[in-house]
Amino acid sequence: MATRLIPDGISIAIAVMGLVTRGVVGWSEALVSLGVAAGLFLLLLLLAMRGALGGGDVKLMAAMATGLAPADTWSFIVATVMAGGILGLAYLFARHLVPEASLAPGGALLRRVMAVEARRIRRRGPLPYAVAIAAGGMFLLFSLSRA
């Protein structure tokens, strides 16, 4: 958590599970999802090259898209962007609520994590967008399971 790196193995496992899941529906559907995921990867790579996203975020979003129908991929993107906005607002509030002094050793884990994040915010560090990606993915999966 201190480095905020998304291991490649996680993205690979999600992509493989997604392709297998789509393959159960039909391999032509799996290939379409793979194509959509590749297109999403390329678009997000452009954002990463401009510093708007990390490389792990790009791989994680594309991996998630491999298991989704094309229309659901759009819903996933929208849900992720909305979760990112909520996360951004939470960060704006957190920097005023959590002083760095609360980073004392032995404190509650949540308080320590919030203090580290507050320090990153004050230094204008990036948001942990994998959190928004996970929230967007979970929202979509719960929505699909109710449909």
Q: pLDDT digit string (tens) for 18-73?
A: 999 999 999 999 999 999 999 999 999 999 999 889 999 999 999 999 999 999 99
pLDDT at position 91 over 60: yes
How do the domains of the chain map onto residue ranges?
A: 8-146
Cα diameter, the chain:
56
Could you write out the three-class secondary structure of the chain?
Answer: CCCCCCCHHHHHHHHHHHHHHHHHHCHHHHHHHHHHHHHHHHHHHHHHHCCCCCHHHHHHHHHHHHCCCHHHHHHHHHHHHHHHHHHHHHHHHHHHHCCHHHHCCCCCHHHHHHHHHHHHHHCCCCCCHHHHHHHHHHHHHHHHHHC
Quote the pTM value: 0.82
pLDDT band, residue 127 (cuts 50/70/90) = confident
Of 84, 28, 92, nearest to 52 by C-alpha is 84
Length of the chain: 147
**Average of per-residue pLDDT values in the chain:** 86
pLDDT at position 110 over 80: no
